[in-house]
Structure formats: C-alpha cells, structure tokens
Amino acid sequence: MSFQEELEKRRTFGIVSHPDAGKTTLTEKLLLFGGAIQVAGAVKSNKIKKHATSDFMEIERQRGISVATSVMAFEYRGKKINILDTPGHKDFAEDTFRTLTAVDSAIVVIDVAKGVETQTEALVKVCKMRKTPMIVFINKMDREGKDGFDLLDEVESKLGLKVVPLSWPIGMGQRFQGVYNLYKKQLVIFRPHSKQDNKEEVVVIDDLANAELETIVGTEAAAELRDEVNMIEEVYPPLSEEEYLNGNISPVFFGSAINNFGVKEMLDCFVEIAPFPLPRETEERIVEPDEDKFTGFIFKIHANMDPKHRDRIAFLRICSGIFQRNTNYLHVRQDKKIKFSNPTAFMASKKSVVDEAYPGDIVGLYDSGNFKIGDALTTGEKLHFKGIPSFSPEQFRYVDNADPLKSKQLAKGLNQLMEEGVAQMFVKEVNNRRVIGTVGALQFEVIQYRLKNEYGASCSYEPINLHKACWVSCEDNAALKEFMTKRKRDLAKDIDGQLVFLAESAWTLKMAQENHPEVSFHFTSEF
Ligand code: G4P
C-alpha cells in the first residue's frame, strides 16, 4: 500500500461526553464492529466511580486500566480507526483537553434524558477552538428522555453546534421502535432484548409515503415519523461534508449503545465522512500529513505502574511522514537525537512493537524522563507544535517538603509529575515557595501518593488563597518592569520559566488588568 493510501485509510478520533452518558459502552460496541474484541465487557471502564472520588487506590487501579485503553485501534471497512480514550472524570479534564489535540475528529455522546451536561459543554468548547469536526450520538433511546427536536435545539444553543440529523428516532423508551436513517433512507428496527449483535434488521424505504411503513411501525408512529421527517427537511440543511469537515455543522445520530443499536449507522457514516489525518500547526509553519519527512508530538505521558522502574510511556501522535523503529530522530526541545527500539502500537487490548507508523497513528515510546507534554520529534527540522497549552488551574496549594532528607527526591518527583501533566507548579518570586495548581482536588492526593510510592518523597500541603494563575506578556519593557516591581508579591514562574501572575481574587486580577493596560494576561500558556 502506498504512503498516500496508508494516510487516507486512517481515522483518529476521540469520544467526548459527560460521565455516564455511555462513552465506554459505545467504545466497546465500536470495537466489536471492528472485530477488535469478541465479547462485550472487554473494555474496562476507565471512569472513576462517583463514590470513589477520594480513594486514590482506585485512581491507581484506574491508571493501570487507562494505559491499556489509551489508544484502541481497529480496522473497519478498509479503514484503520484509532480511538483515543479520554478520561471522563472532571478532575482529569486537562488530560482530556490534551488528548483532543491528537485527534482529527470527535464523537460527542449525549444522554437522551439528561441532555447537554456541563462536561460535554467544556469538551465541545475545546473541540470548537480547534475546529475539530464532531458527530453527535444521542444515546439511551431505550429510555424515556427529551423530545428529539428539543434536544437538537439544546445542542445548538448550549454547544453552539449547527446540527443536521442523519437518523431520526421512532418513539422512545417503551415505545422506541427504531430509527429512520435519513442518510441511507433505511428503516432500522429495534428489537429490545434481542442481542442485536452486529446485525440489525434493516428495511430500505426510499419513500416514506410507502404503506409498508404502517405495516412495520403502526399507523400512529408512521404518521408521526412522516411529519417529523418533513419538518427536519424544512428546518435543517442537507449534509454538506465540507461544512462538517470545517467544523461548522455536526451530523446527529440517535441510538442505544448498550443495545448496540444505531451504532452501525453512525460508524458507517463516520468512516465515509470523518477526516483522515489533518495538517498540524507549528510556530514555524503548517505541517501537512503527506510530507515525506516524519514529524510528531507527545500529547500524553503515562508513568509506569511498577515503582521499581521509573519508565514512562510517552504517547506520540504522528503528524507527517513515516515513523520508523531504530531510526534517529531529533528531540527538538533537548536538541539531541534519539532512537526507539521498542515503539509500541495498540490494537485494542494487544500491544505490539511496530516497525513503522503513519500519520494519524499513535505510538507509545518508552521514556526514562526525556519527554514532556508538547515535545516535538522530527527528522531534523526545529518545529514547535501549537495547540497543546496548559490551562489556568482552579485549585491551588503550597507544597512543602515533609522529609528533610528527601528534598532531592521531592524535587525530582514533582518535576516529573509536572512533565507528565498531572498538575502545574509555580515557584513564587518572593520566597521561592512552590505552589501546585490543579483542575480538581483529586490531583493533590494523586501527587502525594505517587511521590511517596514512586520517589520515596513526602510532601505536605498548606492552603493558599488564589483565584487564578495567568501567564503574562508585555511588549513594552518599561511597563513590564513597573508591573513586576509593583506586583512582585503575586508573581511566579512556571516550570518553563514563563512569568505567571497569581491572582488572589477576581478583583485583584481586574485591578491588575486596569492598572497595567500594557500587560496582557493569558488564561492558557500558549498565546
Ligand atoms: P461513560 O463511559 O460515559 O461514563 O458511560 P458508560 O458507558 O459506563 O455508561 C453509563 C451507564 O449507562 C452504564 O450503566 C451503562 O450500562 C448505561 N448505558 C449505556 N448505554 C446505554 C443505553 O443505550 N441505554 C441504557 N438504558 N443504558 C445505557 P451503569 O448501571 O452505570 O453501569 P453498568 O453496571 O451497566 O456497567
């Protein structure tokens, strides 16, 4: 197969949803279609159960699972599909944001009863920022939920997505009879409690006026479907693939993941319209996937579960060219060449060493501490990939050494955990104290636990009253100097040495912005 064919064969995407909407279930059904797994239940949920929010042993267990499910690849209808797993728990939202930098499209799962939830909103916002094409799957149609049109309105108003329904439900809950596939003009019939397997009962109905519809779904449901489809055709535009690929419109499918119903319709459409590997932006230039020289970036780092080995797995997204085993590549940040003897690919639950990988593929690299998130690997060109920022954290604590004999271990452990992206660390200018900033409270426990277990270091926390951390920039040197002198007390550096303003309250931030108009305050590290 030629390079171009390999490239066009790949579909790399992530599933985003609020916890419990059905992401794990849907992932599993997709893998079943691809023959990547044989039995249901093979994909372990990587979500942290609600009752276990403060149980870090549970987090450790989940961490083990999530290495295995970080990437799940399978073949379907001649395409190689890479699903990138995204943690559902909100305290790990930043992990999910970063994973979304490595996808080319996304599937958004929404629970028909709950509609658009907060976590979905946050994740879709990130996808929109990057113009990632999205397909929406409205799940749990076997349960009573919101009216289809109301849901579409909600998706449009809350997520700001323009929608095009491509399948339409016939009833819901007890009365759910199936979906009409508007894309293929087929009626797909739902038989509750039948296992559905990979085979759905499909009737081709090109014309909804056909009396066969009554025979199958009954007079009332047939009339309702006709009315609703008429309305859809009046209100919503037909699917324009171009608009979808530009991230301007999102096709919507209805179904029930647990019953493996409506999933195939979506998957078939997905393989037809979802983009193959897209270009990636770097500070220097745009990298096109079909360039012959290899480039890629690290979007996720996973510490080894075995405390005796400090090895980590760095996940590399290939952006252009062919990645080859045992070949020297430039680690741009460290300006040194490295090669990899055991790059790992993931095929559902199987891991294997790969000799070659193509754009869109994800390769796991064993790393002894060389990488941090956002790092670029190339055949020689000095490129810096964009769009992998750190976000302003929301919770802060001072972190102190609790064992004077282990200060080196603590420093090393903290540094490595920050490189992995577990949290962010800022060192205050006035007293050199370290402040940890996280998205959720869970990370503080994770850090303490992992420092002890992996580095033999102990830390203690002290509360610090902070509202936000903002990265600061200023073109005018004199104005920057004045700002730095006046606000010295509130300044810190992040681990890359960038200047950060630690605002005690929304008011302090507002005052700083008003008093120093030449200074720009940024809420992500990339500006
Ligand atoms: P998540 O990864 O998005 O967090 O969701 P997950 O797939 O774990 O699904 C959350 C719950 O919703 C699970 O039930 C799952 O069985 C159920 N579910 C998923 N799809 C459907 C569907 O189409 N219809 C219905 N009725 N339920 C669905 P649970 O009781 O929380 O867990 P479990 O004990 O079944 O694993």
Residues listed for the chain: 527
What domains can you pick out in the chain, each with its CATH number?
13-73+83-273 (3.40.50.300), 280-378 (3.40.50.300), 395-522 (3.30.70.3280)
Query: What is residue 256's DSSP assignment?
Result: B
Instruction: Map tokens 């989940």 to a residue.
Output: 62
Pocket of ligand 1 (CB under 6 A): 17, 19-25, 45, 47, 88, 139-140, 142-143, 256-259
Strand-pairing partners, residue 495, are: none
Q: Is the pLDDT of residue 366 over 80?
A: yes
* Strand arrangement of the beta sheet that strand 468-473 belongs to: 459-463, 395-401, 434-438, 424-428, 491-493, 499-503, 468-473, 520-522
Distances, alpha carbon 339 to alpha carbons 312, 328, 330, 362, 369, in Å? 16, 4, 9, 16, 14
10: part of which helix (H) or strand (E)? Answer: strand 10-17
**Of 29-38, 113-122, 136-145, 426-435, where does mean pLDDT reach its minimum?**
29-38
Angle subtended at Cα 154 by Cα 153 and Cα 155, rounded to the nearest 5 degrees: 90
- DSSP annotation of 39 reads S
- Any idea which of 27-36, 249-258, 376-385 has the lowest mean pLDDT? 27-36
Ligand 1 centroid from CA 139, angstroms: 10
Q: Which atom of ligand 1 is nearest to the CA of 27?
A: 7
pLDDT, residue 277, reads 97
Dist. CA 323–CA 361, nearest whole Å: 9
Burial (0-12, 13-18, 19+ Cβ within 10 Å), 519: buried
Distance 31 CA to ligand 1 centre (A): 16
**pLDDT averaged over the chain?**
88
- Global pTM reads 0.85
User: Comparing C-alpha atoms, which of 105, 27, 23, 102 is closest to residue 272?
Assistant: 105
Q: Is the pLDDT of residue 483 over 90?
A: yes
CA dist 492 and 412 (Å) reads: 19
Beta-bridge mates of residue 463? 397
Which residue is closest in CA terms to ligand 1's atom 19? 22
pLDDT at 445 over 80: yes
Q: Give the atom of ligand 1 at the shortest distance from the alpha carbon of 139.
A: 23
Tokens of 269: 């459409």
Mean of pLDDT values over 366-390:
89
Q: Say what the pLDDT of residue 53 is.
A: 40
Widest distance between CA atoms in the chain = 83
What type of residue is 467?
H
Report the DSSP beta bridge partners of residue 134. Answer: 106
CA of 492 to the centre of ligand 1 (A): 44
* DSSP label at residue 237: P
Average pLDDT over residues 374-384: 95
Rounded to the nearest angstrom, the distance between the alpha carbon of 20 and the centre of ligand 1 is: 6
> How is residue 41 written in tokens?
């239940």
User: Residue 264 burial (CB < 10 Å; 0-12/13-18/19+)?
Assistant: buried
